[in-house]
Structure 1
């Protein structure tokens, strides 16, 4: 399996069903917006019975659908998160979560879990509508994702997370984002001003996994 690594820098916002995503042309260097595209994403998150990954703010998932389908490990970083990705491999075409994480993926988190087994933790289904934000030259600098999410706990009938539904917006920086931390923060601040004006609120939860489990802060 071929591993990819990248840094994910994003901000999340809570929104209600009446909120309309804002126009973002003119926010920082944003000069163009793509037409919105909608896709269904289904992800299953794995952890040990003792939630060792979650306690270290690490997420391990397999996702089907969209352009980043595959296995992903997200690790906390100095700015944003470090995201390690692998193709679906043997999980291609099968029900998400029915295949255990492959050895190479498990090796990436071995120092945190030791010999503990990894089990399906939650299934998250997301109807995502994405708009790509471009600079004047047409390079992609960020994306605005409008997510309608539902989650299901997979730890058995006693699982307190049960079924949850919510809507959120994500603003994530892309390849042509500004090349300094200060300028990246300024771009996110400019976008955030419009997002908040449109009725969004900074997310009360650190991640979809945390919300699926009904807690404030866990992995990504």
Structure 2
């Protein structure tokens, strides 16, 4: 099992030769630093792995095999935000550990991983301590030599990495002290990035594609699709690591891609996008099993916790937990199986191919101001038809299904409006906000429908085991009441989202 730790650090370099001769200043007295203790020097030998076209480096990831030091082994570093990375480690071995290879699969695919550059460092380490002797940060001064084939480069780098739980403001205080001593923040985000730059091996730029001239509808739509493609790929490792909300975010990216294909059918040829859209629907469905169970469990758990003790009969909490463990284990296996499949890699390759050479139609050459409003309002009209049809039905299963279809239409309008915000500004933003309220209300209604089905099943399981089904019946009744409230509120929420002013502002 790979180990993970969050790195919060800042890298510095000497701005002048004179500053380098003076060396690293004493940090004692800087912020909460009460003492600096020498930890000696260690030799490190790291080989960085990547695809031949350096895809990991292009996305800010580093994968290395390092010997020397207390944490020798394999390390994959995943960017979180500037100066913050998650380091996933694995034991030293001759080949890339499968757990780490899986985390980079969305980038590597079938390209293969191999050694790209070697960094040999002599690292002098000091510990920065507070008045109680607790570790605040580790200060490292590295004399680095980079080797790529016959090409070499060398430099000195100073790194300050915070201990767990330490306020990041400490790095700002250290930077102030360092600047006065002639050190500046490194221009390169990592040693690998600097090594590649100084050995003339920077990752090649991604193809710009054929989205048409800047300022056209085609360029706008392709830029948005590229953003969603990148989001999908970036969340793949998080899903594999089972990080909170990761499945949801990856699933949203698949939906936004698919919705955009449909919304902008006057910009992109649907003969090309429809097959990819179907594959995106498959991926969203595979991910959705795990996400839907996560959402359902949270709903049932919170509602069960809100019941007074007098309404709790039998081992309801234990039964709910057992039910969830069984279902969640199966749903997670299904999601991971999808990400490990050849079908998934084929989908990612198809997305790349489409964005590199978009199948543009005549509408792509027009201005966004003409194309985007029409596309958004077309989706809006579709939503209005579904809302009206649902509200005209009597309460029951058919109405529940119609409201669910209206919810999906609301998502599509919201995504369309969101995608248009960079060009259409506040009118698109206001429409997206109004439709999001409709979507949320319909989402609550659909969650209640799903919850009632689950509660019926839990009641049956309890009865079969000789337990009281009373508590599940109480929760079922409460879910019915919540659904009815959503249906009563829908006309008013929809009236605000269907205000003529919202649509007129887009035209």
The structure that has the greater radius of gyration is 2
Map of 1:175 onto structure 2: 164
Q: How does 1:139-158 map to 2 (within 5 A)?
A: 139-154=134-149
Structure 1 window deviating more from structure 2 (52-61 vs 194-203): it is 194-203
Q: Is the 8 A contact 1:46 1:61 kept in 2?
A: yes
Aligned match of 2:131: 136
- Report the secondary structure of 2:95's partner residue: coil
Structure having the larger proportion of residues in helix: 2
Once the two structures are TM-superposed, the CA of residue 196 in structure 1 deviates from its matched residue by 1.6
Range with greater deviation from structure 2 (55-64 or 26-35): 26-35
TM-score by length of 1: 0.83
More deviation, 68-77/167-176 = 167-176
Query: Cα distance, 1:137 vs. partner?
Result: 1.4
Q: Deviations over 1:136-189 (max 9, x none)?
A: 1111111111110001014xx6xxxx10000011111112513xxxxx1x2111
- Partner residue in 1 for 2:375: none
RMSD: 1.9
Output aligned runs, 1:1-220, within 5 Å.
Answer: 2-15=1-14, 16=17, 17-78=20-81, 80-88=84-92, 91=93, 99-154=94-149, 162-178=151-167, 184=168, 186-214=169-197
Secondary structure of the corresponding residue to residue 106 of structure 1? helix
SS in 2 for 1:35: strand
Quote how far apart the aligned CAs of 1:36 are.
Answer: 3.9
Query: Could you say which residue in structure 2 is the equivalent of 1:94?
Result: none
* Distance in 2 between residues matched to 1:48 and 1:190, nearest whole Å: 38
Greater strand content: 1
Deviation string 1:44-94 (CA, Å, 9 cap, x unpaired) is: 000001211111111100110011111010111036011111121xx3xxx
Contact 1:19 1:199 in 2 (8 A): no
Structure 1, gaps ≥5 residues long? 92-98, 179-183
- Per-residue deviation, 1:100: 2.7
TM-score (norm 2): 0.37
